[in-house]
Amino acid sequence: EAAVTQSPRSKVAVTGGKVTLSCHQTNNHDYMYWYRQDTGHGLRLIHYSYVADSTEKGDIPDGYKASRPSQENFSLILELASLSQTAVYFCASSDWGAYAEQFFGPGTRLTVL
């Protein structure tokens, strides 16, 4: 069955530290996305990718980098974590961009202290 997994599932980081969130999909999908969800709010797009070795900026890319080394893997990197980046982060994949349903991972709860 198609699946999107994320690791870690939760993390506590210190301000100024580096954080890497990982996402792996077995859907054979071209598109992958990183979103953040703040309490009581919807999802906001951080970065996305439609092919390996290429990433694109979403709506709120500042403070985040992304890496897509293979079709299956997509990472989100916070070089200098800040308090404002405390949130739940979701990875998703889809077959053909905006037309297709997105398959979401379980999320990573990040707390920056």
Partner 1 sequence: TQTVSQSDAHVTVFEGDSVELRCNYSYGGSIYLSWYIQHHGHGLQFLLKYYSGNPVVQGVNGFEAEFSKSDSSFHLRKASVHWSDSAVYFCAVSAGTGGYKVVFGSGTRLLVSP
Residues contributing to the site for partner 1 (CB under 8 A): 4, 31, 33, 35, 40-43, 45, 48, 50, 56, 58, 90, 92, 97-99, 101-107
Contacts 24+ apart (CB under 8 A), 42-46: 43/90, 46/76, 46/89
Residue 71 Cβ, how far from partner 1 at the closest point, in Å?
16
Residue 90 Cβ, how far from partner 1 at the closest point, in Å?
6
Please give the single-letter amino acid code of residue 50: Y
Decide whether 61 or 106 has the Cβ nearer to partner 1.
106
Do residues 77 and 19 touch, judged by C-beta distance below 8 A? Answer: yes
